[in-house]
Amino acid sequence: MNVSDSGVPVPPQLSWRKRYKAWRQNASKQCFSRLLASPRGCQLIKSYRVLSHPVQFVRRKQLATQIAASAAPIRVPREKGYTLLDARTLPGFDRIRDLSLQLFAERHDQLDKIQAEYQAINQKKFMVNLLYDEDLKTHPEWIEFALNEPLLNAVSLYFGQVPVLRRIALILSINNGEEHPASSQLFHQDGEDFQQLKLFVNLQDVQLPHGPFSFLPADVTERALARYRADHASPPENFRYPDDALMSYCQPGELVQATGPEGQALLVDTSRCMHYGSRLQPGHARFVLMIQFLCYHNLTDTKFSQIDPTLFANDPKRHLAVTPRTFPKKSYYVNPFTA
């Protein structure tokens, strides 16, 4: 680095080419976040993505249409945006439950280390993920289960196209002694797209003190939000809604809570259904499996699992499900014990 007359280091002059590249990147970032701030802007991004990858759009729709012609045991009604199911009926569940409990036994007494690593990624003090990208490679059963036929068909039918498997996580929620709910403990909708589906499977009995995943069905969310907008000039900070701000527009019975024994599962559109979770009472923990599906042309990306895109070369539907539009260049969920 050069040094000025007064001895202060002067950064080297960038070439005009590099400066132009940096300016262009900055401008497109700003333009993108402006577009994301309005529904019309989001539609524009979506159309751009579809036009940039039309073959993926057509292929995924075609395959989903073929599924619709055959019987599908699980259906997520569009109006409600969720369905409850028994994960024990899904192929491969017993093996996944055993693997999950094994990882729990091996890792849960090292929570301090896991918590520090998880907070660095997600800034959440009240939950950790016990499943790492490395585990998905060592045990292909995770991906096999996440893409089991009835589940993949259900998600494809709901989206009207074959989805992308974005994340598999073993979520352990813990009570961190904080008195006030924060972050995803407050009512919110997930912003990766206009729609998405997450499967939550209870791996231990979950009751109210364990802070179950709790949500308003899509039609109730729509109604409550319309009333909220009529009464308020702008949304709350970070789009996190206090309970009373929404529940005053709903009946208490309209809140659905994912309580139930091991194997009880919920397939829910967390973009359309206002939700929160992990409000644990002291001395309680909650252990659930979470599998996230997005459309290929989704709007934004959060941190996702690194899943081998060469898998299922002879199975068109499953192969599309492991083919994301953007592939993570680095692993977000690295095992802190082997790293």
Site residues (vs ligand AKG, CB under 6 A): 173, 184, 190, 198, 213, 270, 275, 277-278
Say how far apart CA 290 and CA 235 lie, in whole Å.
28
Considering the complex, state which of residue 191 and residue 328 has its C-beta at the smaller distance from ligand AKG: 191
C-alpha of 14 from chain center? 39
Say how far apart CA 240 and CA 103 lie, in whole Å.
32
Considering the complex, state which of residue 107 and residue 275 has its C-beta at the smaller distance from ligand AKG: 275
Considering the complex, state which of residue 213 and residue 293 has its C-beta at the smaller distance from ligand AKG: 213
CB of 127 to ligand AKG, least distance (A): 6
Write out the H or E segment, with its range, that includes residue 26: helix 16-36
Residue 309, both tokens = 């895109």
User: 215 forms bridges with which residues in the sheet?
Assistant: 256, 275
CB of 235 to ligand AKG, least distance (A): 17
CB of 277 to ligand AKG, least distance (A): 2
Choose among 159, 171, 199, 197: nearest CA to 293: 197
List of residues 6+ apart from 35 with CB closer than 8 A: 41, 42, 44, 45
- Return the number of other C-beta atoms located less than 10 Å from residue 299's C-beta: 20
Considering the complex, state which of residue 213 and residue 304 has its C-beta at the smaller distance from ligand AKG: 213
- Tokens 């992308």 map to which residue? 164
C-alpha of 237 from chain center? 21
CB of 278 to ligand AKG, least distance (A): 3
CB of 196 to ligand AKG, least distance (A): 9
CB of 259 to ligand AKG, least distance (A): 12
Residue 125, both tokens = 């003090």
Considering the complex, state which of residue 57 and residue 332 has its C-beta at the smaller distance from ligand AKG: 332
Considering the complex, state which of residue 153 and residue 278 has its C-beta at the smaller distance from ligand AKG: 278
Q: By beta-carbon distance, which residue lies closest to ligand AKG? A: 277
Q: Please, which contacts does 309-314 make with residues 24 or more away whose CB atoms are closer than 8 Å?
A: 311/140, 311/143, 312/147
